[in-house]
Every structure is written in structure tokens, then in C-alpha cells.
């Protein structure tokens, strides 16, 4: 039986693995996505022990939320934790907007696309330059009191912006980049979050597939693939990461599982991570990643993996 994780001080509880859905309807982010495959990915997640779905308006400019809304008709809404985000203002060329009016409108629009009457976790997706962060979050607190959202999150905020947003203690959860190969959050962010009982969700946990063990040196990504420009996938850095990941293959073999499942299991055991949300482009990737729920890393192996990448 998987232990559920409490989000901040709220009454929202999630399995420790969620599903990242930027490739579900995220046609603006990835080429050649298929909406039916996207819906199947969500279905496979929900029928294999995942409860949290991490989406955003920016994934397909509402399309990801619409597809999730269609799938959710076949599931018990109360058993699913929907996390969505907004900040990109379509009326202003997609510029970030954190004004109370925009956030209130965004929540209503997301509810309509998701075909539901509440959102479990609503994040401000990116900070804008002008709105005081405590005012932005105060608007979300009113929506929380009205029952439209159950938990308040911020994403891609600097630590000082998180502190400004959390002046009244309203922030429940933070989502930021963090992975075995991007550990900056450990230095200042994690201690602050622990001290303030704020949950943490890392994005890019598989480093866009790099931590699954499927890459060898010499791989070339087409120019439309964002990985063709990501520093982790270039030159010496790419080689160093691949060498380390190849050592994970030995640990995965000991547990009779995949590298992806071992990596996801490392996040589950990490005391600073509340919910890990690997993304997927194929249903079998979800089936593979969810196996992490049955991998119980020993303290020694957890430390071995930690040291390998630190
Ligand atoms: P990720 O989880 O690091 O990597 C996911 C990608 O890895 C998949 O799309 C798939 O891509 C590959 N993959 C997944 N499982 C695999 C497996 N078992 N075997 C082999 N390959 C596998 O990256 P992400 O999906 O971009 O990030 C996770 C989630 O975080 C997103 O879906 C989104 O919900 C969220 N996110 C949030 C923000 C934010 O600003 N808040 C930013 C980025 C992401 P291929 O098949 O193409 O290799």
C-alpha cells in the first residue's frame, strides 16, 4: 500500500508519483504529439496507481487541460489530484501575468476546460515583473476560501519571490527544476520549504529522458527537438552524465528493474521531494516509471546514487 503524501498543510493528499503532462496536448512544446495517445497516457497513469496529474494552460494553450477533462469523465473525480498552472497571458502575446484579475480569470477558464468544479493545486506558473507576489497569492487564497482551488502553488519563483509570496503563510507547494543532475535547490530552497511546511515537486526529474539510460554518445536530436539545444545533451557534459547513468544500470539490475524506475524511486525516498512527476510520450513509459512504487531502495543504494551525481 503506497503512503499518500500531504500537500503542505492542506487536506490534499497525493501518491508520491504523479504524471507530468506537458506531452499530453502540448503541441506547442513537442512535435508529432497525438491527442489519443495523450489521453491513453493519462488513463494508464490513473489505472496504475498514480493520482496526481500535473498540467498547465501553457501545455498546448489549454489543450492538455481539455484532454485531461475528457479522460476524467471516466474516473472518480475525488480520487484524482489535478494540479494546473497559469501565467502566460494570451491577450498579451503570452507574456507572464500574475495580477489578481488574470489569476481569477485563469482559474475559471481552467475549471471550464477540465470540466470540474475545483482544482486541487493551482500554481502561478512563472513570476511576472510587476505584481507584488503577496497580492497575487492573496487572490488565490480567496479562491481557496471559495472552494475553487484546494492548494496554492508557485513555480519558477526565486527564493526571495517565494518568501514575498508566502508573507501570510499562504503558499502550500513549490514546483521547480530539480533532478539528480540539477541539485541547486538543495542549498537554500529546501531548508526554507521544510521550515515552512511547503511541499516540493521537481520538474524534469528524468532530465527529459537522459536519466532513463536510453542514450549513448553520438545521438543527434533534430532541430525541432528542444534537447538539441539543452546544455545537458551537449559535448563533455552529456558524456559525463551518460557515464554516470551507465552505473545506474548495475543498480537497476540488482533490483531487477529499469534505470527509470530506480531514478524515480530515488526521488520517492528523497526527504525533500513530495511528489515526483515524470512526463511520458508513450503509455509504456508510464507503466515503466510507475514500477518505482515497488522499488524499495536501501539506504545504502539511495546514498550511492546520491553520491554518484553530487
Ligand atoms: P522528464 O520527466 O524529465 O522527462 C520526460 C520524458 O522522458 C518523456 O517525455 C519521454 O520523452 C522520456 N521518458 C519518460 N519515461 C521514460 C522511460 N520510462 N523510458 C524512456 N524514456 C522515458 O521531463 P518533462 O516531462 O518535461 O517534465 C516533467 C513534468 O514537469 C512535465 O510533464 C510537466 O508536467 C512539468 N514541468 C513543469 C515545468 C514548470 O515550469 N513548472 C517545466 C517543465 C516541466 P522521449 O520519449 O521523447 O524521450
Catalytic residue among 59, 123, 215, 267: 59
Q: Grid coordinates 476546460 are at which residue?
A: 113
pLDDT tier for residue 220 given thresholds of 50, 70 and 90: confident
CATH 3.20.20.100 fits 5-209+267-298, yes or no: yes
Ligand 1 pocket mutation, candidates 203, 222, 262, criterion most atoms within 8 A of CB: 203
Q: How far is the CA of 294 from the centre of ligand 1 (A)?
A: 21
Q: Grid coordinates 503563510 are at which residue?
A: 169
Gap between the Cα atoms of 144 and 26, Å rounded: 27
Q: At what angle are helices 259-269 and 299-309 packed, to 10 degrees?
A: 100
257 lines ligand 1 (CB under 6 A): no
Per-residue pLDDT tens over the stretch 94-126? 999 999 999 999 999 999 999 999 999 999 999
Which residue minimizes the CA distance to atom 18 of ligand 1?
Answer: 285
Provide the residue ranges of all domains of the chain, joining segments of one domain with +. Answer: 5-209+267-298
Q: Residue 54: what are its φ and ψ, rounded to 5°?
A: -105, 110
Q: Which residues in 192-231 are b (16+ Cβ under 10 Å) and which e? A: ebeebebbbbbbbbbbbbbbbbebeeeeeeeeeeebeebe
Q: How far is the CA of 43 from the centre of ligand 1 (A)?
A: 17
Please say if 255 is a catalytic residue: no
208 lines ligand 1 (CB under 6 A): yes
- Cβ(183)–Cβ(269) below 8 Å: no
Give me the mean pLDDT over the 197-201 stretch. Answer: 98
Q: Global pTM? A: 0.98
54 lines ligand 1 (CB under 6 A): yes
- Cβ(123)–Cβ(173) below 8 Å: yes
pLDDT tier for residue 1 given thresholds of 50, 70 and 90: very low
Gap between the Cα atoms of 114 and 132, Å rounded: 28
Q: How far is the CA of 124 from the centre of ligand 1 (A)?
A: 20
Mean pLDDT, the chain, whole residue set: 97
Nearest to 58 by CA among 32, 26, 99: 26
Atom number, ligand 1, closest to the C-alpha of residue 227:
47
- Cβ(51)–Cβ(15) below 8 Å: yes
Per-residue pLDDT tens over the stretch 249-301? 999 999 999 999 999 999 999 999 999 999 999 999 999 999 999 999 999 99
Amino acid at each position: 500500500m503506497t503512503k499518500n503524501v500531504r500537500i503542505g498543510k492542506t487536506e490534499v493528499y497525493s501518491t508520491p508519483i504523479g504524471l507530468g503532462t506537458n506531452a499530453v496536448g502540448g503541441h506547442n512544446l513537442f512535435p508529432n504529439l497525438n491527442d489519443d495517445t495523450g489521453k491513453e497516457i493519462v488513463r494508464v497513469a490513473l489505472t496504475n496507481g498514480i493520482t496526481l496529474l500535473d498540467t498547465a494552460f501553457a501545455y498546448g494553450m489549454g489543450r492538455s487541460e481539455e484532454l485531461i477533462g475528457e479522460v476524467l469523465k471516466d474516473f472518480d473525480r475525488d480520487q484524482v489530484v489535478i494540479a494546473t498552472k497559469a501565467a502566460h497571458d494570451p491577450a498579451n502575446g503570452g507574456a507572464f501575468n500574475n495580477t489578481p484579475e488574470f489569476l481569477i480569470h485563469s482559474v475559471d477558464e481552467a475549471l471550464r476546460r477540465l470540466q470540474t468544479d475545483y482544482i486541487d493545486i493551482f500554481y502561478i506558473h512563472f513570476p511576472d515583473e510587476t505584481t507584488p507576489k503577496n497580492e497575487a497569492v492573496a487572490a488565490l487564497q480567496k479562491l481557496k476560501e471559495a472552494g475553487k482551488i484546494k492548494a496554492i502553488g508557485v513555480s519558477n519563483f526565486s527564493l526571495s519571490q517565494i518568501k514575498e509570496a508566502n508573507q501570510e503563510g499562504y503558499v502550500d507547494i513549490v514546483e521547480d527544476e530539480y533532478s539528480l543532475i540539477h541539485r541547486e535547490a538543495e542549498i537554500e530552497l529546501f531548508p526554507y520549504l521544510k521550515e515552512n511546511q511547503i511541499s516540493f515537486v521537481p520538474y524534469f526529474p528524468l532530465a527529459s529522458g537522459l536519466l532513463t539510460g536510453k542514450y549513448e554518445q553520438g545521438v543527434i536530436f533534430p532541430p525541432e527537438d528542444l534537447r538539441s539545444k539543452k546544455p545537458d545533451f551537449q559535448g563533455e557534459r552529456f558524456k559525463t552524465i551518460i557515464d554516470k547513468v551507465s552505473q545506474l544500470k548495475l543498480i537497476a539490475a540488482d533490483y531487477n528493474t529499469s534505470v527509470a524506475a530506480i531514478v524515480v524511486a530515488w526521488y520517492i525516498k528523497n526527504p525533500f521531494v513530495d511528489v515526483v512527476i515524470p512526463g511520458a510520450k508513450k503509455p509504456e513509459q508510464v507503466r515503466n516509471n510507475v514500477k518505482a512504487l515497488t522499488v524499495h531502495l536501501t539506504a545504502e543504494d539511495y546514498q550511492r546514487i546520491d553520491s554518484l551525481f553530487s
